Amino acid sequence: MGVTWCPGCGLGHSISFLFHGDIKNSLHAHWLGIPAVGVILYRIVVLARMRFLVPLAHK
């Protein structure tokens, strides 16, 4: 369709580069890749705490 840059694809590539340790290409692909990983990891921690720690407190 003539579109050479897709923000969603850039974000996915950025996260992939970051997981492979390539910070330069991660920032080049999309500058929000690093903060997105931080938000995702934070959400995983919150959900894990809700799932595993909160039910134990109510027993």
Terminal-to-terminal C-alpha distance of the chain: 57
The confidence score (pLDDT) of residue 43 equals 97
Query: Domain containing 16: what range?
Result: 7-57
Do the domain assignments include residue 2? no
Return d(Cα 32, Cα 18) in angstroms, integer: 11
The confidence score (pLDDT) of residue 59 equals 53
Reported pTM = 0.74
Do the domain assignments include residue 21? yes
The confidence score (pLDDT) of residue 32 equals 94
pLDDT mean for each 10 residues of the chain (59 residues): 75 94 95 96 93 68
Residue type, 47: L
Residue 47: in which H helix or E strand, if any? helix 33-52
* Total tally of structural domains belonging to the chain: 1
Return d(Cα 47, Cα 41) in angstroms, integer: 10
Q: In the structure encoding, which two tokens stand for residue 56, read together?
A: 């134990």
